[in-house]
Structure 1
């Protein structure tokens, strides 16, 4: 399993998240996607929290393709997003 987690710093969070809605919908429908979420941080007004969970790296890479579009990239002013692999999970 592949987990992607972290945050983005964006110039206009509301506009950025509105632009991302269709990407989130497409990701959630993509083969191998277990969860995909972008959300406004409750404390920092320029921060968007990122969480993705995929069955495997190949599924995430197929979805990502060439990456984000120029329109989305223009909003991002910083980021700290990381990938984690895990072999097991426990439902709480």
Structure 2
């Protein structure tokens, strides 16, 4: 299992519009083969922060989805990106 997690920073005044522009990508990801979860969400404390969480069955599924890429306008709005990919070998309930 692959988890992609982290945070993006955009200017606070464009965050809502940025997230609205991502709705299609979120829908596309969630309907993609191998996607177990996908969300981009406004952080409740930091005005320009967007939290990223993705969960995929495999690298292959993630890479097939990534082939579509982001819109150039969306990339231009990102000021800082701190996102990491994690390989998970087991999962258990807390």
TM-score range, shorter chain: over 0.9
| Superposition misfits of 4+ residues, deviation over 2 angstroms | none
Alpha-carbon distance in structure 1 between the residues aligned to 2:15 and 2:74: 11
Q: If the length of structure 1 is used for normalisation, what is the TM-score?
A: 0.95
Q: Which residue of 1 aligns with 2:10?
A: 10
**1:90 aligned counterpart, secondary structure:** coil
Cα distance, 1:20 vs. partner? 0.2
Alpha-carbon distance in structure 2 between the residues aligned to 1:66 and 1:34: 18
Corresponding residue pairs, total:
92
Q: Does 1:46 align with 2:82?
A: no
Q: Which residue of 2 aligns with 1:27?
A: 29
Alpha-carbon distance in structure 2 between the residues aligned to 1:44 and 1:3: 23
Q: CA RMSD in A?
A: 1.0
Q: Which residue of 1 aligns with 2:38?
A: 36
More strand by share: 1
Match for 1:59 among 58, 61, 64? 61
The unaligned stretches of length 5 or more in structure 1 are none
The unaligned stretches of length 5 or more in structure 2 are none
Cα distance, 1:67 vs. partner? 2.2
**2:53 aligned counterpart, secondary structure:** strand
